[in-house]
Amino acid sequence: MIINLNNLKLPPNQAQDLHFEQRGSAELLESWGGKFKQPFVVDGILLFDGKNYLVQGSVHTQVELGCSRCLKPVTYTVNADFSALLIKESLQDEADLVDEDVVVYTGGMADLTPLIEGIIVSEIPMSLLCSEDCKGLCAICGSNLNTKDCGCREDNIDPRWEKLKQLT
Ligand SMILES: [Zn+2]
Ligand SMILES: [Zn+2]
């Protein structure tokens, strides 16, 4: 996702449409045990104020992650807006002065991939469930309690209750 600013003859205060589609890197979601289900799509505009470029847009993709309780694959849709200032490397000091996200570029080539990947990662929830009432995995035998009742819990009843049961 590289914008070649050299070939861009964008007059000041004009905008240009941007559209990118890119396959997400597998390593990005590996630590979540997740993967991309489709390429990520970026739609937006590029603005030039006469000195710096500003990119504004949205990123959309679908990722597959394991349910936090039972590990079943769950599809999660990422839809996020973003904006970032593109700053020439020689003017990098200015990057510290702005609140916005910044992409520093050299040689007129601005690579938005790290920015977009960072946005996707920040959109992924820490905890994702296949359904609100997911029963998760049995702590003893590891069975998925949504699909089968392994019976481990009964064996685990407090022995004092077990005595009571025998009395009845
Ligand atoms: Zn689940
Ligand atoms: Zn069990």
137 CA distance to ligand 2 middle (Å): 8
Q: How many domains does the chain have?
A: 2
pTM beyond 0.85, yes or no: no
Domain match, 149 and 94 both: no
154 CA distance to ligand 2 middle (Å): 10
118 CA distance to ligand 1 middle (Å): 26
> Lowest mean pLDDT: which of 37-51, 75-89, 126-140, 144-158?
144-158
Q: Which ligand is nearest to the CA of 139?
A: 2
- Residue 49 to residue 55: CA distance in whole angstroms: 11
Domain match, 126 and 78 both: yes
> Lowest mean pLDDT: which of 30-39, 68-77, 93-102?
93-102
How would you write the chain as a 3-class SS string? Answer: CEEECCCCCCCCCCEEEEEEEECCCHHHHHCCCCEECCCEEEEEEEEECCCCEEEEEEEEEEEEEECCCCCCEEEEEEEEEEEEEEEEHHHHHHHHHCCCEEEEEECCEEECHHHHHHHHHHHCCCCCCCCCCCCCECCCCCCECCCCCCCHHHHCCCHHHHHHHHHC
66 CA distance to ligand 1 middle (Å): 8
Would the CA dihedral through 138, 141, 142, 143 be positive or negative?
Answer: negative
Domain match, 74 and 13 both: yes
- Residue 102 to residue 84: CA distance in whole angstroms: 5
Which range of residues forms the domain containing residue 163?
135-168
Domain match, 150 and 115 both: no
Is residue 151 very low, low, confident or very high in pLDDT (cuts 50, 70, 90)? Answer: confident
Domain match, 6 and 73 both: yes
Q: Which ligand is nearest to the CA of 128?
A: 1
133 CA distance to ligand 1 middle (Å): 8
Domain match, 123 and 144 both: no
- Residue 114 to residue 21: CA distance in whole angstroms: 14
70 CA distance to ligand 2 middle (Å): 13
Q: Which ligand is nearest to the CA of 145?
A: 2
Examine the pLDDT at 157 and tell me if it is beyond 60. Answer: no
Domain match, 149 and 117 both: no
Strands 109-111 and 2-4: antiparallel
75 CA distance to ligand 1 middle (Å): 12
